């Protein structure tokens, strides 16, 4: 298994319950084929440019280990989740 880091930018209009539900959804998805080490709420930040007519976004950082073939499924679910404005998954160097 490889070490990964994923940052997602979420719609800033979500309340705490919806944010927690998103976190649990992706933690569960990652844990199916790997292990979440930490989830960090980085709060709302101003965006460099508008994304989906929003000037701010709520940032979530996931540190996890997973099998390389499970990353494609994670990114697919990120894409089809309406509340996620942007995301990136990066493999950490050993």
Q: Which two tokens stand for residue 34?
A: 């790997």
**CA contacts within 13 A on the Cβ side of 67:** 7
Burial of 10 (0-12, 13-18, 19+ CB in 10 A): buried
In DSSP terms, 54 is beta-bridged to: 51
Is 93 part of a structural domain of the chain? Answer: no
**Residue 24 domain-assigned (yes or no):** yes
Q: Is residue 84 part of a domain?
A: yes
| Residues 7-43: tens digit of each pLDDT | 999 999 988 899 999 999 999 999 998 899 999 999 9
Q: What is the CATH number of the domain that holds 18?
A: 3.30.70.60
Cβ pair 18, 58 in contact under 8 A: no
Residue 28 belongs to domain spanning: 2-88
Total of domains in the chain: 1
pLDDT of residue 52: 86
**Distance between CA atoms of 51 and 12, rounded to whole angstroms?**
11
Q: What is the pLDDT of residues 34-80, one digit of tens each?
A: 899 999 999 999 999 998 889 999 999 999 999 988 899 999 999 99
Residue 10 lies in a domain: yes
In a domain, 94, yes or no: no
- In whole angstroms, what is the distance from residue 64 CA to residue 62 CA? 6
């Amino acid at each position: 298994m490889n070490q990964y880091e994923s940052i997602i930018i979420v719609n800033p209009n979500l309340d705490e319950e919806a944010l927690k539900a998103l976190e649990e959804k992706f933690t569960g998805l990652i844990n199916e084929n790997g292990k979440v080490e930490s989830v960090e709420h980085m709060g709302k930040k101003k965006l460099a440019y508008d994304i989906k007519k929003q000037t701010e976004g709520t940032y979530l950082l996931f540190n996890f280990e997973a099998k390389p073939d499970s990353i494609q499924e994670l990114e697919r679910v990120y894409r089809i989740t309406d509340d996620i404005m942007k995301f990136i998954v990066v493999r950490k160097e050993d």
